[in-house]
Structure 1
Amino acid sequence: MSSTPTPSTPSTHVKTRFLILSDTHSSEPSQNTNNDAPYRSPLPKADVLLHCGDLTMLGHFDEYERTLNMLESIDAELKLVIAGNHDISLDETYYKRMGRHMQGKRFDADMPRGAREMWMGERARKAGVTYLEEGRYTFKLGNGARLGVWASPYQPEFCDYAFPYQRNEDRYNPPHQCSPGATPIAENPVPDWQENEGIDVIMTHGPPMGILDAVQNGEHVGCEHLLRAVRRCRPRLHCFGHIHEGWGAQRVEWAEGEQLDVKPEEHFKGADAMEVDRQRMEDGRAAFVDISHGGDNAIAFGRETLMVNASIMSVTYKPVQGPWLVDMDLEKAPVN
């Protein structure tokens, strides 16, 4: 990891709006008729929609169809989606092992193939959805911006659901930067800042350790290897879900220096919670934060990252938590 980078010049950027969802579990905004529920139709228009997984409760075709209907109804030029641990039929390895146990009479050995075709085929294209498997991607937006994304549906093993890895396995860092004592298993490691070629957003299903990851008993269940990787990469935005109780947003300032073999809490200097105007969220159908240059919560790209847990469901699986609407700067795309 190189020394602390210098933030880039705002004049080279394009302000871009992101609508962020996670853990919708086949619920649709139209189900909420109570005006106090921010997750209700129509959701705000955005340049980019990000859905961080748990599209369904258990990976059935009818659940995927409902979620695609919901995503199709949202006004966004680019819609990026990853799976989560509940989307079990999108994890073929897991489904072969546990699908019959999880789905009982509705088990179908061909479901992983059909689910993949649904999310990567004509039905997803009709909804305007781009389904992301683990890895890095680059997109050119209609507003002239370039968007770099690194995505992954995996998270530490959780109640034996899909896309798991063990806590002693490091899925995000290459062997020479692997967490001490962990087994390196990264197939698509998160790149360093100086190698990231403009990764603006990291999308994962699970949170990093110590950031918006506390469950009801106060235990932090995020991934320390992911935290280490996000610090190395330093994106503008890291969005996730998985832990419903963790809904919220924080601006994290990264620790200076190159030392990685530290305690999780020593990777960052501090994390400031983004205040939410409840009435504005209800009226606008989303919690809003502006991290662009000149915004109320502008970040210093390369020194700070906005962390967002966008779980729509409460811990009791009620779709009462708001999406996040984030304005941020992206670099202009190169002119061909």
Structure 2
Amino acid sequence: MKIVCISDTHNRHVELRLPPGDVLIHAGDYSMRGHVAETEAFLSWFANQPHRQKVFIAGNHDWIFQERRENARAMVPEGVIYLEDEGVTLDGVKIWGSPVTPTFENWAFMHTSATIGTYWDAIPDNTDVLITHGPAYGVLDRVRPHSEHIGCPRLRQVLDTRLRPKLHVFGHIHEDYGQEVDGTLTSVNASFLDHRYLPVNAPVVVTL
């Protein structure tokens, strides 16, 4: 299975040049504020991509999926899979998606250290591909100007002790785009925009 990974397109999705693949994954922040018009434009574009399977999660900018959950889900077109702390199996590959990130200012789907663990504990042990909007602590999670790590410590703990996914796709931290391989786990920060919100990063392709 060839998986094409993108994230943090923030309304600039039409500027992407997507490579071919079996599954197209968007790890959240398709918009700036999650307005209806932004959502409709993204979903129309996403649904029309040639990849056989298309999966996305919301990000902290995509407010409509938190504030108007039923309306937002009703907008998702046929052939597109939206995951919000839930999973799907595609060709035998078990995928789980969550929009949750640690609290930072006032954005959507954010949780404190007291509550965020319940979302990570819900991820099944046999997950093959994990999609979260934000990274685990210490993995492609550095921010300017001092390269401080701001990923989720609780998610890192769960990945280190219980989960054994083959692929973890995320974004959120624009300035630490890239991929890392640690044993059997490939971690991908697929942010399309950089820290200046310029569309400079290419989609990342991973073959399972």
Distance, in Å, in 1 between the alignment partners of 2:23 and 2:115 is: 32
In structure 2, relative to structure 1, the CA distance for the partners of 1:26 and 1:135 (3 Å cut) is same
| Preserved contact between residue 83 and residue 96 of structure 2 (Cα < 8 Å) | no
- Count how many residue pairs are aligned between Structure 1 and Structure 2: 206
Identity among equivalent positions (%) equals 40
Specify the structure having the higher radius of gyration (Cα): 1
TM-score between both structures, scaled by the size of structure 2: 0.92
Q: CA deviation at 1:186?
A: 3.7
Contact 2:13–2:42 (Cα < 8 Å) also in 1: yes
Partner residue, 2:178: 248
The residue aligned with 2:163 is 233
For residues 41-190 of structure 1, what are the structure 2 equivalents within 5 Å?
Answer: 43-92=18-67, 111-119=68-76, 124-125=77-78, 128-140=79-91, 146-171=92-117, 185-186=118-119, 189-190=122-123
Matched, 1:25 2:34: no
Cα pair 2:169 2:190 within 8 Å, conserved: yes
TM-score with structure 1 setting the length: 0.58
Distance across 2 between alignment mates of 1:319 and 1:80: 21
The whole-number CA distance in structure 2 between the counterparts of 1:68 and 1:61 is 10
Contact 2:36-2:64 at 8 Å conserved across structures = no
Counterpart-to-counterpart distance in 1, 2:123 and 2:13: 32
- Does the CA-based 8 Å contact 1:44-1:75 persist in structure 2? no
Structure 1 residue 116: deviation in Å?
A: 2.5
Output aligned runs, 1:201-216, within 5 Å: 201-216=129-144
- For residues 58 and 112 of structure 1, the distance between their equivalents in structure 2, rounded to whole angstroms, comes to 14
Q: Write the distance in 2 (CA, Å) between the matches of 1:17 and 1:230.
A: 23
Deviation for aligned residue 1:133: 1.4
Alpha-carbon shift at residue 229 of structure 1 (Å):
1.5
> Take 2:120 and 2:7, find their aligned partners in 1: how far apart are those partners?
24
Cα distance per residue 1:193-230 (max 9 Å; x no partner):
xxx2xx21000000000000000121111001111122
Contact 2:47–2:54 under 8 Å retained in 1: no
The RMSD of aligned alpha carbons is: 1.6
Q: For 1:320, which of 190, 200, 203 is the aligned residue? A: 200
Q: Which runs of 5+ in 1 are unaligned?
A: 1-15, 32-38, 93-110, 141-145, 172-184, 254-303, 329-336
CA distance in 1, matches of 2:71, 2:157: 35
